[in-house]
Structure 1
Amino acid sequence: MDKIPCSIAILTLNSAKTLRRCLESVKDFSDVYIFDGNSTDHTLAIAREFNIPVYKQYNTDEKNVRIKNFTEIRIKTDTLLKHDWTFLLDSDEYVSPELVDDVRRIISSSQDVKTAYFAVKKMVMGDKIIEYTFNDFASVMRLYNKQSGIAWKKSKVVHEQLYIPENVKIINLNSACYSHCTPSYRVAVQKDNYYLSLMHQKMFVTARSKKSVKLTVISIIKNLLRAANIFYKSIKMYYKYGFKETMPVRHTWRYIRYHLILSYYRLKELFI
Structure 2
Amino acid sequence: MPPIIKAVRRLAARMAEPTLLQGDDGSAPPSYSADASDDDALARSSWLQAALANFTVYHVYKRTSLTMKDDVVTGADKKDVLYFLDFPSKVLYKSWDLSLRRGGRDGPLVCQIVKGGRLENSFKIVWPERGFTMHVDRHGPMHIHYGMRYEFRDKNTGECYVWKQDGFLRALYDWSLFKKSEIDADIPKAKRTLVAHWRTPTYTLTKDGTLHVNPAFCPLSELILATALGVEERSQEKRDH
**Relative contact order (C-alpha < 8 Å, sep 6+): which is higher?**
1
- Which has the larger Rg? 1
Higher helix share: 1
- Fold equivalence (TM over 0.5): no
TM-score calculated relative to the size of structure 2: 0.26
Structure with more strand by fraction: 2
